[in-house]
Amino acid sequence: MIDAFRGIGQPNCMPQLSCYSPLGALTISEDEGRIVALDWGWGRDQEETPLLVKVRDLLEQYFDGEKVDFSSLPFSPYGTPYRQKVWQAILKIPYGETRTYAQIAAQAGGSARSIGGAMGANPIPVLIPCHRVVGTNGLGGYSGLNGVVDKRILLNLEKGE
């Protein structure tokens, strides 16, 4: 129970801020000034920190069809060193472009299957654009609430469709 508190009377909770999107409600979470998660659904607690407001505004611009580069945001996704390396590689995929699982594997190491595992474990989808990683013969999977439907929405948005 002591671990649940940071100081006397201060609950240990991360600031969160939610927004609406074509994918449904999304909630962004921050910890110590860095983005740590983007989840489907409306968060219970809402706190407008400068970083969360900035990210929410960028997401709104993105979903309005503007070309937005999220790669300079301060991210701190929880994951293994290998997954961190994969997520860094996909942050470099430009808006509107895609790479295959095999191409990311050649860049970050591992196999196409291990890249798929890292994509499925990405705690900050959309912002760390795992939707831009596709199969050699198709879209591949997607960890969003509606799976490949969400991936197709994001890819079509970036193509201006």
Among the residues of the chain, which ranges form H helices? 50-63, 81-91, 101-108, 112-120, 148-159
Q: Which of 119, 126, 128, 130 is catalytic?
A: 130
CA atoms within 13 A on the CB side of 123: 15
**3-class SS of residue 28:** strand
Is 130 one of the annotated active-site residues of the chain?
yes
Task: Provide the terminal-to-terminal Cα distance of the chain, rounded to the nearest Å.
Answer: 50
Angle 22-18-15 from CA coordinates, rounded to 5°: 155
Strands 133-134 and 99-100 turn out to be parallel
Find all residues with CB under 8 Å of 102, minimum gap 6, and list them.
Answer: 112, 115, 136
The alpha carbons of the chain give a radius of gyration, in whole angstroms, of 16
* Residues identified as active-site: 130
